[in-house]
Structure 1
Amino acid sequence: MSHVILTTVVMRYIVFMTLTTMVSPNDQMVCRDANRPIATDAEDFYKLVDAPLGDNLILQCHHCDGNPTAEPKNWFKTSRPGWDQPREVRLSMDNDMELNRMSVNTEHSLIIKNVEETDSGLYFCWNLGEMEGNDRFNYLVDTVFEEIQSVEAGNITDWLKYHDENYQPINNLFTSSNSDEFVRLREHLNVHLEVITHWDSWGPCDACGRPNNQGVKKKRGRCTIKVTLREGGRVSNADEAYFHNVTVMSCRSTKLYKLFPGVSNLTRVVPDFVQDELCDGVCNPDAEGINHGWKVGKAKGFKYRKTFVIPEGSHLALVCPESTLESTVIWRKKGRALKPGDASNPNVIVDTFNTLYLAEVTKDEEGNYTCQVEDIKMQQIKVFVVTKSRLLTNEMGRHMGYLGFVLLLYLTCYCGGLVITWSRRHTFKTYEELAEEHKEEVEVETLL
């Protein structure tokens, strides 16, 4: 009888280790680079992890190029950084191993299946016997929306254009928008947000099927929000305290949407960017499969892009380029299709000729609009709505700048004339000299 029990226990242990060690190709595996160990600096204290809802996530407790050690490790988590104390992660203990949503494998990696919004937080994997060493791995897991969006690609010059078109308008709003959410961020929480690119590491050099020294390597840049805390901020709850205790967060963060939905609707539609660069490599198509490394095509983004900044109450008519009356045109707002003739929102209407009308616009009409002709992504339009008082203030400031420039130019010329006159004063004739010359002229006229 004891032999049967022992055999059953051993078999269950083998099944458990097999299931917890198996990794699906769709699982997101995260590790820390050995060149960026845990440090006291805020940007090095943890690694930001974008965790799409419903996906599987594996947080590794060893460096990316290293092997797991035999020392015992423990996983801790704080769901609300700066508000709660870290607690040991509660692992699932279901008899059916496949039903365990949260488990640890033989490499001490934490496996989270079917990511939920409650899984967000700061995770720590520590060897309790070496608390002061570098054998610590911290991850800030930020649950994000899984958006169907295009990924732009190109070199560093293309990225600069991508930055100006996608990041700069939002960063301007963070700095000067009078919208309630932006004002609350600046004046109540006293934090400054800035959209930046968080770069992954470079991938391998793809040299197969290419001329010598013409290989291509790529790295992905993810839309990220940098959070800078200023002095004097106030928090009312744990959600607001989150912004005081993190330095970065994802543009598609569910926490951002929960507290600032208007800001989230602007940032979550920003596509990621894949930068490519020439490299010198050796072709090895069998490194990870028979077709690995061979040249493949890449999907294109939108052919046209525009940005409109319009005042509240104004009107805007948008026509999808390269479309005809016979074309099948699909307009979308923030990813949601707009049906022609739908009058549920009188401010946003698509007529039977596939023209999009924005009438009497308010802040609700602000966002990302796209149009698709047949199966071609044709145009992406970003609409920002500002109050008329804000617009008038900007116009007045610009005209005052022009007037100030004219006055400055006038004063410069006037003062320059005075300086030149003063420097040449010794060449001027005195009153007596002028009178003497005039006297000689009078005498000549008298003789005549």
Structure 2
Amino acid sequence: MDKRLLGAAILLCLVGVLQAFATEEKEDVFKTMACSAFLLYDNVAYMADMTFELPCRCKPKEVSSVVWYFQKNMGRHETTVLTDFAGTVVVDSGHIQLGSNILKRFSIRMFSLIVFRAQVMDSGHYMCGSKKGDFFYGYDVDIQPTNRIRVAFVDRGQPVQDDFTGKHFSLFTTFWDWTTCDRCGVPGEQRRIGLCYVQSAQLNPRYRTAVPNVTSCGSRAVPSHFRRPVRLRRPEVAIRSCLTPCPKKEAPKEEAQAIANVISKLGEKSWQPRVPVQFHNQYTGSDLVIACPGARPEHAVGWDKDSVQLYRSRYLIGVNKTMRVFIDHGNHLHIRRIQVSDRGTYFCWQEGKMVAGLRVSVTYRLQRGRKLNDPETIYAVKVIGMSYTIISIMFIVIHVCRCCYRALR
């Protein structure tokens, strides 16, 4: 018994030492980087609809929580406070709506600011600081739009944008790595996102960049007389085809396989989809937008309708201006003015694996007869009655005036 207690005591001591070591290591993250006396801004760039995280890289030791501030342009007095002054704001990213205000699209976790589905209007300065308004660390965030994005299909021989070199600055595209193939076992596609960057010796020195004299095109470090020609260059995305084999699945055990075969032969095995499938009913003539669960714009996402692959080479937004079914740059599948022929099961691939499906059924919108006690009917009767009364009064007044005019002649 004594040996057991001694062993438990030693184990608890080790756990305490490890926890203390972990806490000390966590605190050392802020000790290793001292806050600068003059606030500088780190430049970061993202594509619209992406989710990004900004860590507060330095703070005084005595500060236990930070406050995040947003300022559109440096020098303005309009500053938005993005916190509850406790540094504990957490939101459910699944409930984020496209185009909603930034105050509804952010979260604070462990001193870091997370902005969900960023929009172009979210570009600006983000600072972490204290409740008193002292700033510790700053970011210059550039959200580049997707509505002006340039698409290059590599398989068709379409080139990416050439670099531009001017007298005082040069423009170029910095590409991310190719995504993984969005499907496996069948032909798929890969994407490569490219963001616009500018190189110049006249950038504002208050903005820090990973490469000297290089910053994103929408950065506030770019001089004002450069911004108009810089805005003419667009972000771009390159797309190419790919083919990747699916990973081998573990074969079921012999006993389980034998039982499954018996049940299958008896005809008692119910239909089971390959992935979780939701059922949705949609009326004809309406619009439908389908999102892949857990997917982000930077992920490799593919869409199938039943057994037909919806490739971006045909269904990417902008390929054909008149198409009803298309995929946007945020990996959402859009169906406009839905028709009966659009019913079926839409499968979503993510990072080379089929993850979910949506079975869409389409029904005609029934024409409902109006009743006398309906609010719309009552409103229509009131409007018609009032109009008839006004016309009748005008008719009587006109005739009275004519009679009086004839009598006085």
Q: TM-score, normalised by structure 2?
A: 0.34
Whichever structure has more helix as a proportion of its residues is: 1
Select the structure with the greater relative contact order (CA < 8 A; seq sep ≥ 6). 2
